[in-house]
Amino acid sequence: MKTVKDIMETEIVTVTLKDNIYEIALKMKQHDIGFIPVVEGKQLVGVVTDRDLVVRGYAEKHSGSTEVKEVMSDQIVISVPPTMTVDEAAKLMAKNQIRRLPVVENNQLIGVVAIGDLAVNSKLEEEAGHALSEISEKHKQTIGVN
C-alpha cells in the first residue's frame, strides 16, 4: 500500500515568523500556490492559506507589513507522518475538510501532500474523489448550500 511519502511534494515553499503577509502573498503568486507552511528552522509552527490572508489579513484591514503570526493557523494544524497510508490521509482530509497535509518526521517538515497528489496516481483517483466529495459536501453544509 502506498504511503504519503510516496506521493508527497518535497520541494516546499515556506515562510518564517519574520515574514509579513505581503511577502506571503507575493510567494503565493510567484509559485501559483494557495498554501504555505510556516517554519522555524525546519520545524512546522503553522500554515497560511490564501483564505487566511483574505479573512484574517486583508478583511481585518491589516497592512501588508502585518506579521505572519497574525494570520497563520497554528493551533489547528494537522500534520501526518510519512508512513501514513494514502487511504488514511484521504480519510483525514475528508474528515477535517482540508486539501493539504504537511508531512512531518522527527519534528521537521519534510513534505506536503495535497488532494491533487492523491488524484495523480490512477489507483488513487477513487480515494481522492471521495475525499474531495466529502470536503465539498461539508463545505456546502457549512455555508448553507443544498
The CA distance from 121 to 116, in Å, is 9
Confidence of residue 122 (pLDDT cuts 50, 70, 90): very low
The answer to whether the CB of 35 falls within 8 A of the CB of 77 is: no
Question: What are the structural domain ranges in the chain?
Answer: 4-143
The amino acid present at 36, given as its one-letter code, is I
What is the b/e burial string over 87-112, where b = at least 16 CB atoms within 10 angstroms of the residue's CB?
Answer: bebbebbbeeebbbbbbbeeeebbbb
126 pLDDT more than 90: no
How confident is the model at residue 76, as a pLDDT? 75
As its CATH architecture, domain 4-143 has: Roll (3.10)
> pLDDT for 64-118, tens place per residue?
777 888 888 777 789 999 999 998 998 899 898 888 999 999 999 999 999 888 7
